[in-house]
Structure 1
């Protein structure tokens, strides 16, 4: 089986800038796509020299706006630009474009003949920037006029089910070279698992110009190689993942994939984003995913999808880990044990006797943390905007409940020995504290509190920043992520993760 190529999409304004980008990423890529529609007008006069200057196989693309590009000129002018870029073919094929991307409705016989004569392969592409594509094989067959062309289909999925359909179609679709891309955050698995869809290549973007391709959903080639071990993925690779929504920030792939590489395992762990948990289960069942980490907002809604659960899940009523065992889904909770180890390290104590704890939030993570606090002998008050949800947790463990409002400052002060922030508020936020990124914006830290925020991106949330400024003992949630991730790794693989400093 051919390994998919890694293609770096170049969207700088000048050729010189694009060439600098190539040098930085050369060790991580196999070819580049020159997006001439992003070049300044004067720069387009020199694209014929680009393959020689780049010294790497090149795709020439001049993408129209209707297909997600920036080119706004007429088709005659675009045809002339293609012709100028391919003219005077060099006897050394390395100095010519290796590929050229023509849309499925762009048929210019003279250009196609030139490609055949010069050894330039045509990528015949179809883009739907708004909707999914279902008749993938039929469309690829129709685009493939000769055995020399590579049909490409890129579409915008509406749901993860649209991506699942693409993987199902691709299972037996390996008769000829093709490229399949599902765009946006839902389509991330199609970028990483190109070997599973038998895709000829996967597109990436440099970090420096990632803003130009945000809507498309590219990864950068360093992440693809060093986090996801892309070149090692094949049809025999065992797949694991993490599901949640929007799942914009997660370090779990780095932790798990590092473990697989360390132990020489043919496994990969990928983000499986969806607002609907049932769609993630269908994706796993179709693609053969063996296990998933489960995060916000699915830790509780996953329970009806499980065939069996362990004792902690039964007590906590939330699962953050599911594993395919004997053909059925089993649910586990590693949040409680991961948090326990992290909190013990943070405080330097084994038990929480005589400690009063404020638990902020009432979601799946809060349930696991309340369970852990009870086991450790602490007393707690659960604070949540919806008081009834806080009471459900509090009543289960004999804790107190209070609304998460300025009116509860007195209760917060009483239970301020340890403050544990379990919500997603502050995730991905930088800058000063306000009522949208700091769940305790109304509380003035005294400097005596131990503050643990389960968020780890950013490393210091707005709430943590205020606590640090007041002299509090503070930790983010990376230690919890690490410890619960080690247990997940063992559940997935049967192997101890080991020392992650190696």
Structure 2
């Protein structure tokens, strides 16, 4: 489905330049005491929030009249009062009349917003008898913790919320698939009233970051990682400093890393900082994708302009592109997709093998000036690749091209044998690797996720077997030094970590995304912190 852009009217303009979008950042405060909540209010202001949501249902020993007055008088930011019952995902399980009385008192005392659940909103708004304080806006909300309904059902839900007396419509759904978010964007962009539309869960993260692009009223950002009021909320710090949230608008181009898992990736850190320094109107996201073909078909607007691709989608990505670079076609895997701005067609290429092979060659050359730069130090070496997926294919292809003798190792021997036959190499099962040492001075390259966080104690090979290798490379870069690399170094091998491959392959991707030269020193500077 092609997503329609919202109007530029929601942007504040000065001398023709975009200053910031008008979508608010609301910090949900879940403290169990009023004193703690007051402290968190000031933290929220310092962090850059525009509004604080005071979750009354999180308070213990709550005295409505006294505590609400204290919270309103103490707050340095506009206030949103929410008193969420357990039947809508909150913590309050007491008397309904007392709960709604507390929200009415908050309105009368000076709250800027209150949140009322759709189930009780019609009666609640009637009970006001037309005497709603002009300052206070009523957010009528609905939460679906199972699915994201169809566009038609979401449209009907919005009508019901409006009819219940909402000044601001709010609905939160659950992402079963990342493509569910597109339906919410479609509703938001066509809304004629202020609207908050969010999709919960990791697959719904995009909804919380891109909402300014489509004209949503606000998004939620937490003060601390993991201290959330709904699944999938990012921190305020991430919204402002990682995703450059204030600068996202209708014309912002969307990029991202497609993978499963994907939250560990440092790509958003790298690209968003580079976009900001270069003045590029783009944002780069984590995209937890189950079906890459479905994702690319759903987000077909030219504004969804480019994607990096990681495990396990690199081979499937090659089949989704309208055109594939000859090298990527030979490898059978794509790790970079660019959407042509004129016709929306997808172009795929592979930058993995250049980044990894270059890093390995540089490590082999080291400071030895006698090694010729005209030929590769990989020529004639026995190069053992663990993994027969997209990254494994890329490294095997690159090593073969440099004159190495290649051995493919995989848990599933048939897959190893298939890749080995394609490139002209040998195959082993992973179980055989420890006993495979026909010679010393071999090169080992792990292209699987073995040893990646959180399973940092895993390694694909015993430490004893590592003494036969001159150099060990690991594509994993979270952690930077895996167990494999640590034990390889202790065994006397040179090591190359995944960050070096990551930076190397990112140069070409940045250039394909932007048409600008890659800021290589900036990339190294950014990643030096990891």
TM-score > 0.5 by shorter chain: yes
Q: Distance in 1 between matches of 2:29 and 2:514?
A: 39
1:271 — aligned with what? 286
SS in 2 for 1:377: coil
1:29 paired to 2:49: yes
- The alpha carbon displacement at 1:64 in A equals 1.8
1:386 paired to 2:406: no
1:366 — aligned with what? 392
RMSD: 2.5
Do the aligned partners of residues 446 and 164 (structure 1) sit closer, same or farther apart at CA in structure 2, a change above 3 Å counting?
same
Question: What's the CA shift string for 1:49-70, capped at 9, x where partnerless?
Answer: 2133221111111112232222
2:216 — aligned with what? 199
Q: Distance in 2 between matches of 1:51 and 1:441?
A: 62
2:139 — aligned with what? 123
SS in 2 for 1:314: helix
Do the aligned partners of residues 190 and 150 (structure 1) sit closer, same or farther apart at CA in structure 2, a change above 3 Å counting?
same
Question: What's the CA shift string for 1:263-314, capped at 9, x where partnerless?
Answer: 1111111222221112210232047311111111111112222111111111
Q: Distance in 1 between matches of 2:35 and 2:402?
A: 61
2:39 — aligned with what? 20
Do the aligned partners of residues 344 and 68 (structure 1) sit closer, same or farther apart at CA in structure 2, a change above 3 Å counting?
farther
SS in 2 for 1:132: coil
The alignment's TM-score, normalised by the length of structure 2, stands at 0.85
SS in 1 for 2:300: helix
- State how 1:61-460 maps to structure 2 within 5 Å: 61-87=82-108, 89=109, 96-107=110-121, 108-109=124-125, 112=128, 116-117=132-133, 119-134=135-150, 135-145=153-163, 149-173=167-191, 175-208=192-225, 210-213=226-229, 216-286=231-301, 288-325=303-340, 326-327=342-343, 328-348=345-365, 351=376, 352-405=378-431, 407-411=432-436, 414=439, 417-429=442-454, 433=457, 437-440=458-461, 444-446=465-467, 449-460=470-481
Runs of at least 4 residues off by over 6 Å: none
**Which shows bigger deviation, 240-249 or 357-366?**
240-249
Contact 1:15–1:43 under 8 Å retained in 2: no
Do the aligned partners of residues 145 and 485 (structure 1) sit closer, same or farther apart at CA in structure 2, a change above 3 Å counting?
same
The alignment's TM-score, normalised by the length of structure 1, stands at 0.90
Contact 2:477–2:499 under 8 Å retained in 1: yes
Contact 1:244–1:272 under 8 Å retained in 2: yes
Do the aligned partners of residues 116 and 339 (structure 1) sit closer, same or farther apart at CA in structure 2, a change above 3 Å counting?
same
Aligned length: 487
Q: Distance in 2 between matches of 1:201 and 1:348?
A: 53
Q: Distance in 2 between matches of 1:193 and 1:443?
A: 49
Do the aligned partners of residues 413 and 97 (structure 1) sit closer, same or farther apart at CA in structure 2, a change above 3 Å counting?
farther
Q: Distance in 1 between matches of 2:280 and 2:55?
A: 37
Q: 5+ unaligned residues in a row in structure 2: which ranges?
A: 1-8, 11-21, 367-372
Question: What's the CA shift string for 1:313-346, capped at 9, x where partnerless?
Answer: 1110000111112421111111111212322333
Counterpart among 483, 490, 494 of residue 511 in structure 2:
490
Q: Distance in 2 between matches of 1:378 and 1:242?
A: 31
Q: Distance in 2 between matches of 1:469 and 1:429?
A: 23
Do the aligned partners of residues 443 and 363 (structure 1) sit closer, same or farther apart at CA in structure 2, a change above 3 Å counting?
farther
